[in-house]
Each structure stands twice: as structure tokens, then as C-alpha cells.
């Protein structure tokens, strides 16, 4: 995590009680609250779950138990380039699990995890809605159809090139320091 990111997270944590105020303290509010927290942080930080447990006056273990039950909730921050590998029926038949495995090996993380530099995260999804292009992977919002293990290297190179281009542009636009 870079300093800027941990700063915004600390700020969000500070403002969390404010966001909790509209919710009552009945335990039935737990899931809507967790959804709200995930919307703000894009994941469920441990510190935020503690605040939620105190707000509802229920054990932290119970909050954690409920949160882990649902696939919707994640406990690691998503990367700047979230990679979603489709394992819906069509992609499954076309070897989506092989694509997933290749991403995992390339990045050295498992599905549901984020790289240490927070650049990439991998998750599996069930159908993106373009089965004709199976197997499909999403990088950010971009759909990559007809995926093959051989395409993965090129994909990362492209992201790297785009990043460098953006940096160069930024430098050119900025007046010399």
C-alpha cells in the first residue's frame, strides 16, 4: 500500500461512524452495513469490521462469520487492474480454469488475492455475458475474449506500455520542475 492509499483509508475509517448512523443497531442491518462498507473501501478492512461489530453490539467473530459466508464480500483490497476470469458454463468448457491458473502463476497470487504492489487482483466470476468469446477474462473494464495462455504475457506487456505512456504524457504536460 502506498502512503496516499493508506491515508484515504484512514480518512474513510474516521468517517465510518457517520455513515453508520443512518442504520439502526438491530442485527438485521449487518448485511446492508457490510455492503455499504465495501462500497466505500472496495473491500472489508479488519478495522472497519470492528467498528461495525461495536455499532451493532455483536461479537466481531459473528460479523466475520457472516461476511465470509458471502462471495460478494472481499477481505483484500482489489488491485488497480482487477482481473476477473470467467468460469461460467461456456468458459468452463473452453478451459477457463486453465486461464485462471495461468494468471495465478504469472502473478504469483491465488484467486481472491491481490499482488503486494496492489497493481493486480484475481477473482473468478460466473459468466460475463459474452459466451461466444469463451474463454473470457476481464482486465479492469476491458473484455478479452478467446483467451489463451499464450495471450497472457502480451496482456501484461500492454498494461505496462500503457502505464509508461501515461507517465510520459504526464511529464510532458507538467511544467519542468
Partner 1 sequence: MMVEITVDGRVLTVQAGQSLLEACLANDIYVPNLCHLPGMADPPASCRLCFVEVDGMPQPVTSCTVAVTGGLVARTDTPAVRRLQRSALRLLLSVHEVDCKNCPANKRCELQRLARFLKVGLKPKDLPAPRKTPAVDDTHPCFSFYPNRCVLCGKCVEACRRAPGETVMAFSRRGFETILYFDVNAAEAGRCENCQACVEICPVGALVMKAD
Instruction: Write out the residues near partner 1 by the rule CB under 8 A.
Output: 59-62, 64-65, 68-69
Contact 85, 96 (CB under 8 A): yes
Using alpha carbons, select from 91, 77, 175 the residue that is nearest to residue 121: 77
Q: What's the helix, strand, coil split of the chain in %, to 5?
A: 55, 10, 35
Minimum distance between the CB of residue 60 and partner 1, rounded to whole angstroms?
5
Comparing CB distances to partner 1, the nearer of 11 and 69 is 69
Nearer residue to partner 1 within complex by CB, 123 or 137? 123
Answer for the pair 59, 53: CB distance below 8 angstroms, yes or no: yes
At closest approach, how far in Å is the CB of 66 from partner 1? 8
| Distance between first and last Cα of the chain | 27
| Nearest residue (CB) to partner 1, 34 versus 133 | 34
Smallest separation (angstroms) from partner 1 to the CB of 26: 18
Angstrom distances, CA of residue 146 to CA of 31, 151, 162 = 37, 9, 22
Q: How many residues in total does the chain contain?
A: 177
Smallest distance, Å, CB 158 to partner 1? 35
62 vs 164 by CB, closer to partner 1:
62
Amino acid at each position: 500500500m502506498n502512503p496516499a492509499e493508506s491515508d484515504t483509508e484512514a480518512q474513510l475509517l474516521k468517517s465510518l461512524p457517520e455513515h453508520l448512523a443512518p442504520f439502526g443497531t438491530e442485527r438485521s442491518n449487518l448485511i446492508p452495513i457490510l455492503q455499504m462498507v465495501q462500497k466505500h473501501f472496495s473491500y472489508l478492512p479488519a478495522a472497519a469490521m470492528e467498528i461495525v461489530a461495536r455499532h451493532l453490539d455483536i461479537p466481531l467473530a459473528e460479523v466475520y462469520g457472516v461476511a465470509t459466508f458471502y462471495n460478494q464480500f472481499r477481505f483484500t483490497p482489489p488491485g488497480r487492474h482487477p482481473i476477473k476470469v470467467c468460469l461460467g458454463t461456456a468458459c468452463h468448457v473452453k478451459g477457463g480454469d486453465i486461464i485462471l491458473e495461468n494468471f495465478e502463476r504469472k502473478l504469483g497470487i491465488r484467486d481472491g488475492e491481490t499482488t503486494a504492489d496492489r497493481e493486480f487482483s484475481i477473482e473468478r466470476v460466473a459468466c460475463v455475458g459474452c459466451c461466444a468469446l469463451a474463454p473470457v477474462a476481464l482486465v479492469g473494464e476491458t473484455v478479452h475474449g478467446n483467451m489463451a495462455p499464450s495471450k497472457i504475457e502480451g496482456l501484461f506487456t500492454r498494461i505496462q506500455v500503457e502505464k509508461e505512456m501515461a507517465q510520459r504524457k504526464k511529464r510532458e504536460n507538467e511544467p519542468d520542475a
